[in-house]
Amino acid sequence: MFYSKKYILDNGLNLICIKKDSKLISINVAIRVGALLEDKSERGISHFVEHMIFKGTKKRNNEDINSDIEKLGGEYNAYTGYDRTVYTFTGLKEEIECIIEIFSDMLQNSIFSSKEIKKEKEVILSEIRTAKDDIEDFSYQKAYYAAFDKSPLKYDTIGTEDIVNKFTRNEILSFYKKYYIPNNCNIVVASDYEPYYIYKLIKEHFGKWERKEIKKNNILMERNIPGCNYSYKKDIEQSTIIYIFTFNNLNKNQELALRILNHKLGESNNSILFKELREKRGLAYDVYTSLDLSKHVKTMCIYTAVSEENIEKTINIINNCIDKIKKKEIVFDNSTIDIMKKVLKTATAFTLEDCEDIANYVLYQSINNENIYEFIEDNKALNYIESNHIYEIANLVLNNPTIHILKRKE
């Protein structure tokens, strides 16, 4: 358990302070914008702005920014997701004021020089090309492109070469000015400091940030398009198979049952698919499932890579496993369910023990307007999950997948 205190600054900035016994501090600064809010002509612009935030302010050039952060001795990073762009730092607690000052300068005073934009455009184009060389990344890009019609989930967060190439300084700066405002910002700080002390530091460095009105695009929620799709790529040794399922409007208990199902189906080395595809038949090395419960995403995926001659056999095995679960032919007895409950509770315990993990968790909850103590209710609710709940959720979710197959191009 941890103590928390929430503050809202006069300019609308949301701050959550986590009081935790630790010699470290972890700070997450999130701007509530990502790929889901981009127009067609803006695909990848949130990610571009994330890069540019490190490329110079009114008082620091890009070398100064990286040098000043490195001097603090901690770990720093940034990432762009579907609904947020996040800047993180974890380091010694005595560096708290320094990193808050640096982040406040970066977020409020970036200058977006034409010279740096030109250089960073080449870096991002290289990143896009590199993703094409990663077979797993490439497969997911193709699978999501096939799975959706108009949803932004169709596109990768880093954008496409043709669109990124066309970005102008005015377009990038306009996007930054629209979304990088205090009333569109969440900050989470996990530390041993009293929350009011953190609040005063944040107010000192972020309090004069000017609030602005903001109008966001409506986010389109779309079901995946059922069917089997093929892509081809030269010089690959194995074919990949991806299933994508979407689900909306599940309640919290149903999502808990889905987390248990996901774990048992493919999230562990003792999972159903791992045992069937790898242990019993030796068809695949990589096989796993993944689940994204984010507010505007709600997807479950199955991934594996096999030799081309085993594609049909692998798909039949996956389909057979899903059918057996739905027909209750694969038994989820009490001991199996108890193990899966314990796994989820253990994962929660790990999160609560780690300063960085707890900051990430609280940020995720706050961005989605969820209770940051939801894990307490989840742990209680887990005690009431039974096998029939898992079978019910399997029949609700594991239907009409988008299947994507990547094969060698001759």
Q: What does the pLDDT look like over 366-403, one tens digit per residue?
A: 998 899 998 888 888 888 899 999 999 999 999 999 99
Tell me how far apart the alpha carbons of residues 111 and 61 are, in angstroms, rounded to a whole number.
9
In terms of pLDDT, which residue wins out, 404 or 220?
404
Instruction: Report whether pLDDT(362) > 80.
Output: yes
Please indicate, yes or no, whether residues 279 and 338 belong to a single structural domain of this protein: yes
Query: Which of 177, 206, 235 is where one domain is finished?
Result: 206
What is the per-residue pLDDT for 196?
Answer: 97
What is the per-residue pLDDT for 117?
Answer: 97
3-state secondary structure of 392: helix
Instruction: Report whether pLDDT(341) > 90.
Output: no
Please indicate, yes or no, whether residues 235 and 198 belong to a single structural domain of this protein: no
**Nearest C-alpha neighbor of 23 from the set 74, 91, 99, 100:** 91
What is the per-residue pLDDT for 410?
Answer: 72
Mean pLDDT of 151-166: 94
- 339 pLDDT tier (thresholds 50, 70, 90): confident
Mean pLDDT of 189-213: 97
Tell me how far apart the alpha carbons of residues 195 and 190 are, in angstroms, rounded to a whole number.
9
Please indicate, yes or no, whether residues 149 and 256 belong to a single structural domain of this protein: no
**What's the total number of domains in the chain?**
2
In a domain, 214, yes or no: no
Tell me how far apart the alpha carbons of residues 361 and 355 are, in angstroms, rounded to a whole number.
10
CA angle 296, 300, 301 (to 5 degrees): 130
Please indicate, yes or no, whether residues 296 and 349 belong to a single structural domain of this protein: yes
Mean pLDDT of 265-293: 95
In a domain, 218, yes or no: no
Q: Outline where 71-224 has alpha helix (H).
A: 96-109, 114-133, 135-147, 161-166, 169-179, 195-206
Please indicate, yes or no, whether residues 376 and 263 belong to a single structural domain of this protein: yes
In a domain, 24, yes or no: yes
What is the per-residue pLDDT for 363?
Answer: 95
Tell me how far apart the alpha carbons of residues 49 and 86 are, in angstroms, rounded to a whole number.
11
Instruction: Report whether pLDDT(235) > 90.
Output: no
In a domain, 400, yes or no: yes
- 137 pLDDT tier (thresholds 50, 70, 90): very high
In a domain, 337, yes or no: yes
Please indicate, yes or no, whether residues 240 and 202 belong to a single structural domain of this protein: no
- Dihedral sign from CA coordinates of 355, 358, 360, 362: negative
20-29: b (≥16 Cβ within 10 Å) or e: bebebbbbbb
What is the per-residue pLDDT for 55?
Answer: 96
- Identify the domain containing residue 386 by its residue range: 227-408
Please indicate, yes or no, whether residues 387 and 248 belong to a single structural domain of this protein: yes
Asked if 272 contacts 304 with a C-beta cutoff of 8 angstroms, the reply is no
Q: In degrees rounded to 5, what are phi and psi of residue 38? A: -85, 145
Please indicate, yes or no, whether residues 149 and 288 belong to a single structural domain of this protein: no
Please indicate, yes or no, whether residues 119 and 86 belong to a single structural domain of this protein: yes
Place of tokens 């470290």: 24
What is the per-residue pLDDT for 204?
Answer: 98
In a domain, 220, yes or no: no
Asked if 195 contacts 373 with a C-beta cutoff of 8 angstroms, the reply is no
Please indicate, yes or no, whether residues 199 and 299 belong to a single structural domain of this protein: no
In a domain, 124, yes or no: yes
In terms of pLDDT, which residue wins out, 350 or 122?
122
Please indicate, yes or no, whether residues 372 and 272 belong to a single structural domain of this protein: yes
In a domain, 222, yes or no: no
| End-to-end Cα separation, the chain, in angstroms | 57
Lowest model confidence (mean pLDDT) among 189-193, 268-272, 289-293, 378-382: 378-382
Please indicate, yes or no, whether residues 109 and 145 belong to a single structural domain of this protein: yes
Tell me how far apart the alpha carbons of residues 11 and 211 are, in angstroms, rounded to a whole number.
5
Tell me the CATH number at 140: 3.30.830.10
**Nearest C-alpha neighbor of 116 from the set 68, 69, 64:** 64
| Percentage of the residues of the chain whose pLDDT score is greater than 70 | 100
Rounded to 10 degrees, what is the CA torsion of 140, 141, 147, 148? 150
- pLDDT tens per residue across span 296-328: 999 999 999 999 999 999 999 999 999 999 999
- pLDDT tens per residue across span 82-91: 999 999 999 9
